[in-house]
Structure 1
């Protein structure tokens, strides 16, 4: 199958990975091989693929948390490794899959941690407003004084997202932000990601749900076995043929009767 890869550097990319590969210490093979990705301002870019495809590894590379064995990552044309940690934290906010908090911090205290990169700068004047806004946007105002260990998994996930939003950066990197959430809050989170992109932020999000990617992403990058299979508009990348090839599951893809957005449904024998 012909891939839809974008040739060369991604035009207009704020954050860009070029031909990155990752071989973990002691491993015999790459878990990410020659992957390129460009995250643009004003867009939601979803990383999708089966379990073990390399999504979270590529995410870690562009976040600066995983050092590639080869290739390069640039932020505004400058090597990511050249940024000091505090300067990097003022440019991009990262939501990881695991956000364990074992100490009895309150939700408000955890969200306030997102303001740490702006300590001793004039932007500390925005701390209270940024924290309050993040609590509202994630629907956890009523949880502000609860301790994080007392929360449910979904509530913890929203508190972690609120910390990222309070950071107020122009790049948002979200690794499976909807994994622990109910249907309503899944939609709320992805709608919020779209809103931030429309306000000018560059947003990258790791997703498992193909229908969420279809509905909310401006572009998607599909990975399989550590390689980029295709990058482009969701409806062009996520064809029934390509999904079956990558996931090993036959599907039908058809436009939703009301919205026209393509919907992916597995083919189930006898039903």
Structure 2
């Protein structure tokens, strides 16, 4: 961590913009609960995303679609209580903004008021322009999300790489510019060719955070449970596991079971 970074009392949209300007990469991870958020924040993460991936990771759903606005607010409230430095962004879940800018605004305001979060994130480009503008007009910072948009999984029918064809790549680039013009403070690009990721990052002035979008973007995001190796089944090419907590936790639990069964726990020192 650079000296500059550790001196930051709180990360803001302005600080993220400065980081892009001087070429300092932005680090972003997901958080859904107080204990994990406290660790990530203290470690020096720049942005915490209360992702609708909570639907998969925390609730065991196959897609991000089932999670509700109330559930997202619950997760966001838990995360905010733990955070002293990171910038906290919350996903507006599926069905709480599409096709209705008034509903989008209501959802964003509920998230901000009830959780104390710093910004919201929406999936899509030109088709959600009206919602983005409406939310921004209320003074709520908006992060965009292009490329593979998991809330539209049934439309795509697959989680494969997006924008490989020239037409879709051109549209994605245009959408990024539309989101910037609307006033979004940053954009997430998911699962697109590295060359296109770099092109987008160079063509807009706002930070571009990638997940499977190569190293030419302004920052990276991963799902924390994947990075820590708590999840085992999910193995996309873009994922680097920095720990193997699945096995660490399994061994710890098995050790505990063994000691309880063998009357080793608690011992005299652990008793009153």
Normalised by the size of structure 2, how large is the TM-score?
0.34
* Larger RCO (CA within 8 A; separation ≥ 6): 1
Higher strand fraction (1 or 2): 1
Q: Which has the higher helix share?
A: 2
Larger radius of gyration: 2
